[in-house]
Amino acid sequence: MRLATRLACLIVMGAAPALTLQAETRPKRIVSLNLCADQYLLELADPAQVVALTHNARNPALSFGADKAMGWPVSDGNGEELMVLMPDLVIASRIRRPEIRAFLETQKIPVLEIEPVHTFEDIRAQTDLIATAIGTPEKGALLIAQMERRLETAKALTPADKPTAAHYQRRGYLSGQATLMSEIMSWAGLENIAGQMGARRTQRVSMEVLLAAQPEILVSGTPAPGENDVGKEVLDHPALRTLYAKARWIEIPEALTVCGGPSFPAAVERMQARMKALEAAAR
């Protein structure tokens, strides 16, 4: 089922407000419980509409809009804070905490639940959905047009023969063909080798299997400063470091790839810049 179809409803717990909102009736106390929703709100909402983003909105290792979010309110999204904030719209992923769901149902607070995106088509639909729900459809249309222009520019720079690449993550997870990272790689001009390996979704793949597939380029996230994660030891293995070294390895900040949305063109552009740097180093 297309994401546009799955998302095309505002899930309201005990109420049913219309999605097409006039300026005087649009939400004025929006709370985000989702990092990806933060990214959209920073671009689409008027600051006065938002009473809280997530606490990770200001984390530069995870949030594309961390600098901008420094001037916006944040919360931990627990029940006590929601009682104080009394939102008139909550944007979240699937709400599984029973106390949060019970509070929202009791207070009849509208909830827009968003799903992860995997393609630019998904991002278009989600941008339009959120912009409409918060009463700023014109900002949504403008953002979509801006993203489309940047991606068309990027598309013109892609090589005729795309190098094969693998996005290899902590603990040996490989991004499959039907993932957001695969979409970023494709727009940047890389062929995700996971398709040849039969991997559609993100799955664990041993380093031996990865090396046997022989991707031309390895892609991974940029380590956070001072990061001490046992799970990333696989990325430090001498076999990978020897075979790929700096000339065949692209590192991209995870803040650009954790979510789709406004960060998507920036992720594509960053990857293309790193590809260009690899080409220059190989000459």
Could you write out the DSSP letters of every residue in 252-275?
E-GGGTSS-TTHHHHHHHHHHHHH
Which positions ≥6 away from 117 have C-beta within 8 Å?
3, 36, 123, 126, 180, 259, 260, 261
pLDDT at 38: 98
Q: What is the pLDDT along the chain (283 residues), one digit of tens a residue?
A: 343 433 334 444 433 344 445 556 899 999 999 999 999 999 999 999 999 999 999 999 999 999 999 999 999 999 899 999 999 999 999 888 888 989 999 999 999 999 999 999 999 999 999 999 999 999 999 999 999 999 999 999 999 999 999 999 988 999 999 999 999 999 999 999 999 999 999 999 999 999 999 999 999 998 666 556 666 778 888 888 888 876 799 999 999 999 999 999 999 999 999 999 988 887 7
The answer to the question of residue 152 being in a domain is no
78 with 101, same domain: the answer is: yes
Bridge partners (DSSP) of residue 11 are: 111
193 with 118, same domain: the answer is: no
pLDDT at 216: 95
The answer to the question of residue 151 being in a domain is no
| CA distances (Å), origin 77, targets 49, 80, 101, 179, 259 | 17, 8, 12, 28, 19
166 with 97, same domain: the answer is: no
162 with 207, same domain: the answer is: yes
pLDDT at 168: 95
9 with 142, same domain: the answer is: yes
The answer to the question of residue 192 being in a domain is yes
The answer to the question of residue 118 being in a domain is yes
The answer to the question of residue 251 being in a domain is yes
Domain end point (choices 146, 177, 202): 146
The answer to the question of residue 161 being in a domain is yes
198 with 130, same domain: the answer is: no
27 with 122, same domain: the answer is: yes
Range of the domain at 108: 3-146
249 with 173, same domain: the answer is: yes
pLDDT at 223: 67
List the one residue out of 158, 121, 120, 140 whose CA is nearest residue 20.
140
Bridge partners (DSSP) of residue 30 are: 50, 89
11 with 142, same domain: the answer is: yes
Domain end point (choices 123, 146, 169): 146
Which positions ≥6 away from 50 have C-beta within 8 Å?
30, 31, 32, 41, 72, 73
Which positions ≥6 away from 222 have C-beta within 8 Å?
251, 252, 253, 254
236 with 185, same domain: the answer is: yes
∠ Cα 239 243 244 (to 5°)? 115
The total of structural domains in the chain comes to 2
The answer to the question of residue 185 being in a domain is yes
Domain end point (choices 93, 122, 146): 146
100: domain CATH number is 3.40.50.1980
The answer to the question of residue 196 being in a domain is yes
173 with 50, same domain: the answer is: no
Residue 240 tokens, joined: 């990978």
140 with 168, same domain: the answer is: no
